[in-house]
Amino acid sequence: MSNPLNVVGRAHQAGAGPGFTWFVYGSSLDAEAFAGWARDHGYRVPDFSAARPARLPGWRLAFDAPSRMWGGPVASLTEAPGDEVEGLAVPMPGEARGLVDHKEGAVSGLYEAVAVTLETAGGPVPALAFRVAAARRLAEDGPAAPAYLDVMIRGARACGLSPAWMARLEALRR
């Protein structure tokens, strides 16, 4: 059986494990940006057809991850009781873990995976989310890199995230 994701290099060396749910909340929400990244890195875009809106309670969106590519801080997660982050719960096959680790910057050590529980219309879902690694985190949140924020907002809108979440994202432009 051929590998449907065409995973090669360091991201593929770990091999396939069990399937998992990926919490997508940043630039990966934008299908066009994701497809461009996948093409540039030799991956096929995974099937997002089973993705559904999700909320991550007890966390907030932070812009404390440095990015030379985007020219400023990009999104991460910080624990914050009483707050929440919206995104997508994306079921992934085990062989996609290398792709996800690569896309999320875990391969380079910029981000790290964290086990979370998402709230969805179908009930709670265990998932993997990614946040900037403590050793790489900026000393404080900065304003989001404008191009990154544009892609994130475009993706969130296309994914049908809530009007309240869209308003929160739009407010970051000011």
With a cut of 60, say whether residue 107 has pLDDT above it: yes
Mean pLDDT of 114-127: 97
Taking the model in full, what pTM does it have?
A: 0.89
Architecture of domain 9-167: Roll (3.10)
Please give the Cα distance from 149 to 170 (Å, whole number).
9
With a cut of 70, say whether residue 13 has pLDDT above it: no
The DSSP code sequence of 37-78 is: HHHHHT-PPP--TT-EEEEEEEEEEEEEE--TTTTS-EEEEE
Pairing of strands 123-132, 52-65: unpaired
With a cut of 60, say whether residue 146 has pLDDT above it: yes
With a cut of 80, say whether residue 27 has pLDDT above it: yes
Pairing of strands 123-132, 111-120: antiparallel
CB distance 44 to 6 below 8 Å = yes
User: What is the Cβ-side half-sphere exposure of residue 93, based on CA atoms within 13 angstroms?
Assistant: 10
CB distance 46 to 92 below 8 Å = yes
Position 8 confidence tier, pLDDT thresholds 50, 70, 90: very low
With a cut of 80, say whether residue 11 has pLDDT above it: no
